[in-house]
């Protein structure tokens, strides 16, 4: 919690909320067949790592997770994740293919994003979603948890319609979207 508040005070638009995701939300995001089946998961915006821990709990022993977090304030918390499947990049979620290759990962089967797309300039949000689409393996899944629905306008032209669920037991209540990359 302290990591989140400190990061939020410095960059409120990027961090968006002072409460880490609730266990109900992290469970909803991670407890999916696509996460259990994945060889590679890419996480954008892990924050202090609550979502990361939930994903690793569901993932196979031989899978790998790369997390990309923009705020260096979260480095210390994320570096405490002592799991050999986990790798961290402190940086911006742009040019995802380049970052994935630099870490020696293959294309992700799933990309999970907590980046608050509604707080970004539309051109930046669109560029990140394009990079997500480009980086995903064929038939891969894109999962995004969001306060607002702005992401739909960027994702629809590339992915088509989403499946969306509202998680009320979170501060604030959030929508969890899932798209599949058409082969
Ligand atoms: C709403 S918080 C989610 C944090 C955590 N996953 C959770 O659920 O509690 C959004 C996170 O996205 C990060 N973020 C925002 N823009 C980003 C970007 N362009 N690249 C990487 N991370 C970004 C923020 O620093 C923050 O940690």
pLDDT tens per residue across span 128-160: 999 999 999 999 999 999 999 999 999 999 999
Residue from 3, 11, 47 to probe ligand 1 pocket by mutation (most atoms less than 8 Å from CB): 47
Residue 123 — very low, low, confident or very high, per pLDDT cuts 50/70/90?
very high
Q: What is the pLDDT of residue 2?
A: 67
Is 63 within 8 Å of 39 (Cβ atoms)? yes
Is 110 within 8 Å of 44 (Cβ atoms)? no
Residue 53 — very low, low, confident or very high, per pLDDT cuts 50/70/90?
very high
Q: What is the pLDDT of residue 106?
A: 97
Pairing of strands 141-146, 40-44: unpaired
Residue extents of the structural domains in the chain: 2-180
25-34 mean pLDDT: 98
49 pLDDT higher than 80:
yes
Q: What is the pLDDT of residue 42?
A: 98
Q: What are the phi and psi torsion angles at 149 (to 5°)?
A: -105, 10
The tens digit of pLDDT for each residue in 64-102 reads 999 999 999 999 999 999 999 999 999 999 999 999 999
Distance 113 CA to ligand 1 centre (A): 8
The fourth-level CATH superfamily of domain 2-180 is Vaccinia Virus protein VP39 (3.40.50.150)
Q: What is the pLDDT of residue 3?
A: 65
Question: Is residue 49 within 6 Å of ligand 1 at its C-beta?
Answer: no
- Nearest atom (ligand 1) to Cα of 25: 8
Please name the residue whose Cα sits nearest to atom 2 of ligand 1: 15
Token code pair at residue 52: 């990361």
**DSSP assignment string, 114-171:** ---GGGS-HHHHHHHHHHHHHHSPTT-EEEEEESSSTHHHHHHHHH-S-EEEEE-SSS
Residue from 44, 94, 115, 167 to probe ligand 1 pocket by mutation (most atoms less than 8 Å from CB): 115
Residue 19 — very low, low, confident or very high, per pLDDT cuts 50/70/90?
confident
Please name the residue whose Cα sits nearest to atom 26 of ligand 1: 15
- Nearest atom (ligand 1) to Cα of 124: 19
Question: Is residue 17 within 6 Å of ligand 1 at its C-beta?
Answer: yes
Please name the residue whose Cα sits nearest to atom 13 of ligand 1: 45
166 pLDDT higher than 70:
yes
Q: What is the pLDDT of residue 75?
A: 97
Residue bearing the bigger pLDDT, 159 or 4: 159
């Amino acid at each position: 919690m302290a990591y989140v508040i400190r990061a939020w005070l410095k960059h409120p638009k990027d961090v968006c909320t002072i409460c880490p995701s609730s266990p109900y939300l992290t469970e909803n995001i991670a407890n999916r067949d696509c996460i259990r089946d994945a060889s590679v998961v890419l996480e954008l915006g892990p924050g202090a790592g609550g979502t990361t821990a939930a994903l690793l709990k569901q993932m196979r022993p031989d899978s790998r997770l790369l997390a990309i977090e923009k705020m260096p304030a979260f480095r210390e918390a994320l570096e405490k994740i002592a799991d050999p499947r986990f790798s961290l990049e402190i940086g911006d979620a742009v040019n995802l293919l380049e970052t994935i290759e630099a870490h020696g990962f293959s294309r992700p089967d799933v990309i999970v994003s907590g980046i608050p797309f509604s707080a970004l300039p539309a051109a930046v949000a669109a560029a990140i979603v394009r990079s997500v689409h480009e980086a995903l393996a064929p038939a891969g899944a894109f999962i995004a948890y969001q306060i607002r629905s702005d992401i739909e306008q960027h994702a629809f032209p590339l992915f088509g319609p989403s499946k969306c669920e509202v998680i009320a037991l979170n501060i604030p209540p959030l929508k969890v979207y899932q798209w599949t990359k058409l082969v």
